[in-house]
Structure 1
Amino acid sequence: MQRMGHSSVRAALIYQHLVNGRDHAIAAHVDEQIKKVRPDGTSDASGT
């Protein structure tokens, strides 16, 4: 509901098929962009 801006559960259920799998696609794209910046796979993040 939050992502699509729906104010009712009914509306969210009607349109949920539009975002199914989108989280995975977004994460994959972010990973791809990080690999372009850091092709060796290193990260500055501490992991905590």
Structure 2
Amino acid sequence: MGHSTTRAALIYLHTESERDRKIADGMGRLAEEALKNEDQQGSGT
């Protein structure tokens, strides 16, 4: 990865994993909201 030490690489990998989890969680919430809105709009007709 080009880092000076293995420890530095592991720190960056851990940080990246946390960021990826936050992104995935946020996208999951957005998808749930979109599905709820779709269901509510569909039941009103």
TM-score range, shorter chain: 0.3 to 0.5
Give the structure-1-normalised TM-score. Answer: 0.45
Structure number with higher helix proportion: 2
